[in-house]
Amino acid sequence: MLAIWFYTLFSVAVVSAISLVGAVTLYFRVDFLRKILLFLVSFSAGALLGDVFLHLLPEAMEGAPSVLGVSVLVLAGITLFFVLEKFIHWFHRHEYTHWFLPPHEDEKKVHPMALTNLIGDGLHNFIDGMVIAGSFLISVPVGIATTLAVAFHEIPQEIGNFGVLIHSGLSVGRALWLNFLSALTAVVGAIVVLLAGAQSDAFLAFIIALTIGGFIYIAGSDLIPELHKEQSTKNAVYQVALFGLGIGMMALLLFLE
């Protein structure tokens, strides 16, 4: 059992470290980075929706006793994130700051989608940790295969998430740090399953359905409306292409499952 703990926690640590892939953007000039932000948002929107409809939703349907139950939980997830963002809007109107965001002058107007994105990504990473741990409880080869699938899944998504955080008004360093903290929820998810000693299909389906709702809300109400603000036909074509590329990357990962 100690070997399973080692393999699982090592694998989850590697997957969590992928959140730092956004650091490659530090080698770009600030003006160039700003130019590609909307393109990263385009990719992220496609990746989130591709993840929902190609990965999370099928998994939720497979593990749920009722399709209606999944639908209700997805709606609950959308409603939860809607209420959360409304609360954050109210929070900002009263000029408070989040406990994890010191009141720096250049970060007073951080868009609420930064927090909703971190929460949604944290839930998603929590599930990743549970899936990896459950796979290693089945066998080491299955655990390794699942880890590779999750890792390839996380690379494009974390790049997109980093772009969303920057676009929301966070500094590069703060976005990188918060994205990494969000990724560490995978460790918590893995430990929960390892301590339980077996996969909890019902609980996993519950978390997945709520995450689906959150990701649909983020993509549909926060990201895509931002893309509609682009007036340049050339950039709009690039955005559509990157949106499709985000979906395509999620589709390609189906061959790894």
- Domains of the chain, residue spans: 2-19+37-256
Q: If 0-12 CB within 10 Å is exposed, 13-18 middle and 19+ buried, where does residue 68 land?
A: exposed
Statement: the pTM of the whole predicted model exceeds 0.95:
no
Residue, of 257 and 70, whose pLDDT is higher:
70
Q: What gap in Å lies between CA 192 and CA 11, rounded to an integer?
A: 15
Residues 160-190 have pLDDT tens digits of: 778 778 777 788 788 888 888 888 999 998 9
Answer for the pair 49, 219: CB distance below 8 angstroms, yes or no: yes
Answer for the pair 126, 15: CB distance below 8 angstroms, yes or no: no
Q: H/E element holding 40? A: helix 30-51
What are the phi and psi torsion angles at 199 (to 5°)? -70, 140
Residues 49-80 have pLDDT tens digits of: 887 898 778 877 876 778 898 899 899 889 98
